[in-house]
Each structure stands twice: as structure tokens, then as C-alpha cells.
Amino acid sequence: MPVRLMDSLATTEALAEIFSDGSVLQSMLRFEIALARAEARLGIIPPAAAQVIAAVKADDFDAAALASATLRAGTPGIPFAKALTEVVRAKNAKAAGFVHWGATSQDVADSALVLLLKKAQPVIEADLRRAEAGLRELAEHHRDSVMLGRTLLQAAPPVTFGLKAAGWVAAIRRGRKRFTKAADEALLVQLGGATGTLAALGDRGMAVVNAVAEELGLQAAEAPWHTHRDRMAAMICACGVLVGSLAKLATDVSLLMQGEVAEVAEAGGEGRGGSSTMPQKQNPIGSTIILAAATRVPGLVASYLWGMAQAHERAVGGWQAEWATVSEVLQSTGVATASAAELAGGLKVDRGKMRKNLDDTLGNVLAEKAAIVLGKRIGRDKAHKLLETATRQASAENRPLAQVLAEMPEVAKHMDIAALSKLDAPEDYLGSTEIFTQEQLKDPRD
């Protein structure tokens, strides 16, 4: 389905289709058909009635009319059940009396929402795996690509691009697993009837729930969850954390793409990343879309959590807010994951520029290394003060730190020329970088 222009930066074609009117109608209809079939199988309604109900198609409904009626009814379940009854009545008057038997409007809406989540889950997970794979390849390839570390946006002791990318991989993998677990736990059929007791079905309620769940390929909860939204909330929160991790990736990439840094670049191509007025520009579009999603999602997560305070057996307002919220969260998460996958698959890394940016510091970022070496001989505090003086002088005179240190009598007493010459080698000051990279790239079985 084509994405609406208004939503063009907020979803993907696949997710726009999943949350389209036709898909929503089909999901509500699937619940009603599953309910009828389950009840017929258990001898609660006539099999002939279930057959008529099962023959209804989503095309038999007017989505615009249902949307208008929903605004008046306060739930999509009521106008849908009425419309379904009329469609069935036109085929078989007796069968119409068994539509929606024992269910309530929220059962239709919640079960449909869960079915939409079930469709969206593999789409999001597939893009996450693509993003992981692309970033893993970058991390492996750039294990030895030394670059500036940056703390508080200032130059700091060196790291490797492999370590940075491995951190992205590990965070996204954790986010994917968290999302999968939470989504799996939320795939529960909703069937509780008027007040969550299924009294209209007598003592057959749990049998019907199990049968409907089987028909839909969902799980049966231990009881209806009309006003207990914790499992859906956990999935929403997992989306929030996941999008936050993707935003970390996007923030790093967009900063590394700044013209004065220029250590990485997103893939370009026709119509991607250009400017309407500045021909030279290559903008971080994938990162931009991820960060736009990360701007929307936290507020949506908070909205969902706020709505969990639902009164008694049926909510006033909180539940009615959920369709739009869940739809936006899943689509925002999906567009962020799709953008991350595209970003990861085409990211270009400039090792030469990384080395130049390191060298341009004239060794000042290795002041900690010098302080550690010198501190073992004259004490940490004294060494730290000497290095503060030396780095300021090196910056003011635009000279290498090692050269300035060699001219300081206090340093020359304790460090020979050979030791000073090694201060400019960032490869010798990477500590446990390789171990941390390896540990983060480990891929334990899901």
C-alpha cells in the first residue's frame, strides 16, 4: 500500500499496509470468524451459522462509514459487529442471530490489534537482523581501524571503529531480543464478554477461548485482560528502548558525518541525501529518519503507560487511546529499524580521515598515556599537573606533545627518548579494546 504523504517519514510501505483500513477490517473479521467456528465446533452455535459468517469478506464493509460510526460509539467493535450482523443477515437471517455470540466490543478490537502486532513483528525483526548483520560486518572489517575517542564531544584517547560498531551491534541485538520476548508475550487472544467472565457461555468460556486462540494462532491468556495492559505495555516499552538504541547509532553516525569530521558517510544515490540548494551536500538521511522516530516514540510510550490506570472491568479513555498509540509506536519503530538496516548496509568508513583527525591532535589525546607512564615514577598528581602544562603548551605552539615533553627537565629525568617516541602511537594505547569488541560480537543463540 502506498504510504500517505503525511506519514512518509513515519512508516514503511509494509507497515502502512499492515495498519491500513483493509488490514484492520480483515483482522476484526478474522476474530469474528474464529469465534463462530470455535463455538460451532463446541456445539454452542449451529455449524451452518458459522459457515455463513466465515463466508463474509473484508470487502463487504465500508471502512469510512465504520470510522464515522466508531467516533460515535467510542469503540470500533460496536459498529463492526452491527455491520457484520447486517452482512450476514443479507445472506441468512437465522445465522445473523449468532454473530458475535458471547463476545463484547473490546474483544474484537483487542484481538484485532494483537493480530496486527503479529503481522508487524516479523517485519521489524527482519530489518533488525539486517541492521545487525551490516554493522557486524563493519565491526569485523574495522577491528584495527584506530580513531579518536570522543567524550563530551571532545577529543579523547583512541578507540577503534570496530569497538564502536560492535557496541551498536550488541545494543541492537539486546533490543531485538527484548522486543521479540515482549511481543510474543502480548500475542494473546482477547475474549471476556461483558465484564470479563464470559457468563453468556456458561461453563464453556475457557474452552471457547482456547479454541479461538487455536483458530487465530494466538495464545490463550489465563483470564481476559480488558483492563490489565501490562503485557502490551511491556512490548511498547521494548519498542521505546529499541528505538533509543537505534538513536544512539544515528547520533554517532550523524556526528561522524559532519564536514569537519568526515570519518564516515551514509550511502548516497539518486534522490538520497542531497540538498535542494547546495549541490555539494550529502546529508545523513538514514540517521535523520531514525532520530525523527526517536523524537516521537518516548512520548507515545509515556502515553501508553499513562493509560494503564484503567478503572474496574472496562476503561474510560485509556483503552480507547490504544489503537492509535500502538499503531504509531510500531510504525515508528519499523521505519527506524528499516532505516538502520539501510544505513548499516551502505555505511562508508574513511580510515585515512580517522588517522588524520588523530594525528591533528599532535598527541594531546595521548596525555593520559604519558601521565600513567610518568605517574609510576613521580606520582599521579605531580604527573597530571605536568601533563596539563605540557598539553597547553603543545596546543599553543602547535607542536607534538612528545616534543614538548622531551624538553621538560622533570620529564627527561624519568623518560628516555625511546619511551617518549612511543607516546604518539595510538595503537599502543587500546587496552582491552579487542576483548570488548569480541565479547560484544558474540552471537549466542536466541
The 10s digit of each residue's pLDDT in 294-331 is: 999 999 999 999 999 999 999 999 999 999 999 999 99
Q: Is residue 94 part of a domain?
A: no
Would you say residue 64 lies in a domain? Answer: no
d(CA 83, CA 79): 6
- Domain boundary among the residues 306, 321, 352 is at 352
Q: Is the pLDDT of residue 115 over 70?
A: yes
240-280, pLDDT tens digit by residue?
999 999 999 999 999 999 999 999 999 976 555 544 454 45
Quote the CA–CA distance of 264 and 261 in Å, as a whole number: 8
pLDDT for the residue 321: 94
DSSP one-letter string for 48-63: HHHHHHHT--GGGS-H
Residues 262 and 391 occupy one common structural domain: no
Q: What is the CATH number of the domain that holds 386?
A: 1.10.40.30
DSSP one-letter string for 167-178: HHHHHHHHHHHH
Is 20 a domain residue?
no
Do 301 and 386 lie in one domain? The reply is no
Which residues touch 19 (CB under 8 Å, ≥6 apart)?
Answer: 11, 116, 120, 327, 330, 331
Alpha carbon of 394 to those of 4, 10, 150, 374: distances in Å? Answer: 57, 49, 20, 17
Verify that 176 and 293 share a domain, yes or no.
yes
* Residue 264 pLDDT: 97
371, pLDDT greater than 50: yes
374 and 330 together in one domain: no
Q: Which domain holds residue 394?
A: 361-441
Residue 141 lies in a domain: yes
- Is there a single domain that holds both residue 224 and residue 365? no
In this prediction, residues 376-395 reach a mean pLDDT of: 88
| pLDDT computed for residue 1 by the predictor | 66
Residue 73 domain flag:
no
| Cα–Cα distance list, 152 to 149, 155, 156, 279 (Å) | 10, 9, 9, 32
Q: Are 169 and 437 in contact (CB under 8 A)?
A: no
Residue 68, domain member (yes or no): no
Q: The domain spanning residue 222 has which CATH number? A: 1.20.200.10
Q: Which residues participate in catalysis according to the annotation?
A: 275, 314
Residue 297 placed within a domain:
yes
**DSSP state letters, 67-105:** HHHHHHHSSSHHHHHHHHHHHHHHH-HHHHTTTTTT--H
Instruction: Over range 191-202, report the average pLDDT.
Output: 97
298, 317, 352 — which closes off a domain?
A: 352
Q: CB burial class (10 A; 0-12, 13-18, 19+) of residue 148? A: buried
3-state secondary structure at position 149: strand
Lowest mean pLDDT among 42-51, 137-146, 281-290: 281-290
Claim to verify: residue 377 and residue 240 sit in the same structural domain: no
Cα Rg, the chain, nearest whole Å? 30
Examine the fold and report which residue of 352, 383, 403 is the final residue of a domain before the chain moves on: 352
Domain count, the chain: 2
- Range of weakest confidence among 165-169, 172-176, 267-271, 426-430: 267-271
